[in-house]
Amino acid sequence: MPDKYKYLLPLPDFETKEWWGALRWYELVFQRCTRCQTFRHPPQGTCPRCYSEDHEWIKVSGRGILYSYITVWQPVLPQWRGDVPYNIVQVTLEDAPNIKIIGNVIGVDNSRLTINMPLVAVFDDVTQEDTILRWQPR
């Protein structure tokens, strides 16, 4: 674990703190509407399908598919300027296909990224309090 993490960290809020809390336990969870079973992400108060506020947190397998990706050469955020080129990906979940989640892929050369590539979630303890979700090929 690095002493000082130089990148941006999340600021969880009322609706997202459970999502971030689960990552601390190496669990990837998503909100699912208890009325119509629709998954949603990022976490929000109301189901966009049936408008119910009732939901449960469902643990998913962490198996994902690469939906799209980019490689940043000229970053806007200064914290990343020393890291170019770096990848950012959109991933769909095997267990919740309507969800797209932003992340990055580690342990692979950027030139090997392809759409529909199978990925698996990894949990990165970047500080004493923060675990960040990343992806690697499976």
Partner 1 sequence: MPERDFRGKTAIAGIGYGRSPQAPGAFTTNSGVSVLTLAVRATKEACEDAGIDPKELDGVVSFQLNDSVPPSSVLTALGCPKINYSSDLNGGGEYASFAIVQAAQAVYHGISNYCLVYRAMNGRSGVRMGQLGEGTGAGTGRVGGAGQFTSIYGLAGPPSFFAFQAQRYMALYKVTSLDFANFCINRRTNATNNPRAAMRQPLTIEEHQSSRMIVHPYHLLDCCLETDVACAMVITTTERVRHLKKKTVTISAGMGASSFADEIIDTGLIHIGPRILKAAGIKLKDIDIFEPYDNFTDCPMRLIEDMGWCKRGQAKDFIKDGRTSLDGELPILTQGGLTNEGYCHGLNNALEAVQQLRGEAEDLCPDWRNGSHTYDRNICRQVRNPEIALHCGVTGGSAIIFRRE
Q: Which residues bind partner 1 (CB under 8 A)?
A: 7-13, 16, 20, 42, 67-77, 79-80, 83, 85-86, 88, 90, 98, 100-104, 114-115, 132
Residues 6+ apart with CB under 8 A from 37: none
Q: Determine if 49 is a binding residue for Zn ion (CB under 5 A).
A: yes
What is the Cα–Cα distance from 85 to 89, expressed in whole angstroms?
13
CB of 36 to Zn ion, least distance (A): 3
Give the residue among 62, 108, 67 at the shortest CA–CA distance from 87. 108
Give the residue among 86, 94, 85, 87 at the shortest CA–CA distance from 116. 94
Q: Determine if 96 is a binding residue for Zn ion (CB under 5 A).
A: no
Question: Rule CB under 5 A: which of 19-48 touch Zn ion?
Answer: 33, 35-36, 38, 47
Residues in contact with Zn ion by the rule CB under 5 A: 33, 35-36, 38, 47, 49-50, 52
